[in-house]
Amino acid sequence: MSSSSNESLFSSALGPESGTLYRMSRAIAEAFPERRVVEGLTHTFDIEEFSQAGRCEARPRSNPHPLMQAEWRRRKGISATAACAVFDVTWNGRSLVVVKAEWFDTFCHRTYVWVVAESRTVARELASEVCEFCNEPRNAVLLFQGGCWSKSPEMWEQIEAASFEDLVLSGDRAREIREDFASFLRARKDYERYGVPWKRGVLFVGPPGNGKTHCLRATIKFLGVPCLYVHSLKSRYETDDANIAKVFERAREVTPCCLVFEDLDAIITSENRSVFLNQLDGFANSAGLLTLATTNHPERLDPAILERPSRFDRKYHFGLPNDVERRRYAASWIDRLDAAMRIEDADRDRIIEATDGFSFAYLKELFLSSMVRWMKKREPGSMTGILDGQLATLREQMKTDTSDTPKT
């Protein structure tokens, strides 16, 4: 590959304009006339991830200059990946070249990859092995929005931080949920033996602020399988129906996995419901698909979704906490307070009784906001009065807050 070819490879080819990929493909073919090229747009091919795992060696060339994208994350500091680069790759004793180009097309992140090898067979073998390895989202959640999939390490970290131990659920609900899913994951051979599709749907139902999202994250963490999260089906160039098909197609590629629709009533409408149900009912290639959904408003869901057990065969209800649950939740907060913030047992009982009708979100806000206000003066023995004042404020807010979630 000559120096002039190196320099011109990306010069006029990259970007979302019409003809971009054709110009790029032709430039690569001219740069490597004696070799064979396999090309394709793929969200699963990541030669850097493959190399970092020790599966090959991939070194970006200095010419053409590699365009690097750097990002900062609190626990890992600065990391960089190549957006546009030419890699020299050594894999299974063979020398190959991988050309990678990335850009944003409206709201969608596009990645195009060319694999250059001595033969198309070798190029395809590397492409297949890289895609197979990268297909599972390691340390990330696959997030669908704007018609595209992207990896979200941040959402994965939120899931890893969730725990059933931090939840106050009625009765043995936490144990029941864990045993229910553990039993399902162990039973694949039994499902296959009796000809029952090894898939299921679970719906978390109840007013906002009562632990559905936290329980959802704790459940995903407990399952230990890849997670795909649907944020929205809306996109500029694709219909909801096309995006639903894209969502389920991707989920079936990584089964067993959990496919999450949070606030299902806001995502599935009368216009896209039919296609959603067809995909949910699909028997082909759905083994190991766990569809997890939440809703604050079950009355907005069509009976075809809510009442058909073959679609969401289990519904867990998350209602307002009763006296026992409020007491357990309050104890978990009060027992962690510094001695200067502590309140008398009689005041604790009175406050718990006065929070009847509070959601867990409002209870959390009661204690957090009171602690913040206590910090302004830091007067020992003043927490009881602060809690009483915040309780009255939140009680008034509840009268006008239709979301049942405190405004912070």
pLDDT at 40: 77
Whether residues 131 and 54 share a domain: the answer is yes
pLDDT at 385: 93
Residue 72 has pLDDT above 50, yes or no: yes
pLDDT at 15: 45
Cα-based distances in Å from 386 to 32, 122, 172, 206, 390: 74, 71, 34, 30, 6
Whether residues 95 and 179 share a domain: the answer is no
pLDDT at 21: 74
Whether residues 263 and 390 share a domain: the answer is no
142: in domain:
no
Q: Which domain holds residue 9?
A: 3-135
Q: Are 87 and 67 in contact (CB under 8 A)?
A: no
Whether residues 370 and 328 share a domain: the answer is yes
pLDDT at 75: 62
Q: Is the peptide bond before 66 cis (omega within 30 degrees of 0)?
A: no
pLDDT at 203: 95
43: in domain:
yes
pLDDT tens by residue, 82-116: 778 999 999 999 999 999 987 766 556 678 899 99
Whether residues 87 and 208 share a domain: the answer is no
Whether residues 313 and 260 share a domain: the answer is yes
Whether residues 77 and 19 share a domain: the answer is yes
407: in domain:
no
Kindly state the average pLDDT of the residues 245-256.
92
**Terminal C-alpha separation, the chain:** 59
Whether residues 10 and 82 share a domain: the answer is yes
pLDDT at 268: 95
Cα torsion for 264, 268, 274, 277, to the nearest 10°? -20
Q: Write down the mean pLDDT value for the chain.
A: 87
Residue 404 has pLDDT above 80, yes or no: no
Which are the contacts of 386, defined by CB distance < 8 A and separation ≥ 6?
370, 373, 374
Domain boundary among 269, 284, 317: 317
pLDDT at 106: 57
pLDDT at 402: 58
346: in domain:
yes
Among 124-128, 167-171, 392-396, the range scoring the smallest mean pLDDT is 167-171
Q: Could you tell me the pTM of the whole model?
A: 0.78
405: in domain:
no
Q: Are 265 and 300 in contact (CB under 8 A)?
A: yes
Residue 260 to residue 393: CA distance in whole angstroms:
35
pLDDT at 13: 45
Residue 69 has pLDDT above 80, yes or no: no
pLDDT at 104: 67
145: in domain:
no
State what percent of residues in the chain have pLDDT above 90: 55
24: in domain:
yes
Whether residues 356 and 303 share a domain: the answer is no
Whether residues 172 and 301 share a domain: the answer is yes
Domain boundary among 78, 104, 135: 135
Residue 72 to residue 51: CA distance in whole angstroms:
21
Kindly state the average pLDDT of the residues 251-257.
91
Confidence band, pLDDT 50/70/90 cuts, at residue 18: very low
Whether residues 176 and 277 share a domain: the answer is yes
pLDDT tens by residue, 181-191: 999 999 999 99
140: in domain:
no
> Structurally, how many domains does the chain consist of?
3
Residue 248 to residue 231: CA distance in whole angstroms:
14
pLDDT at 10: 57
pLDDT at 156: 94
Distance of CA 135 to the CA centre of its chain: 15
Domain boundary among 267, 297, 317: 317
Whether residues 36 and 106 share a domain: the answer is yes
Residue 155 to residue 136: CA distance in whole angstroms:
15
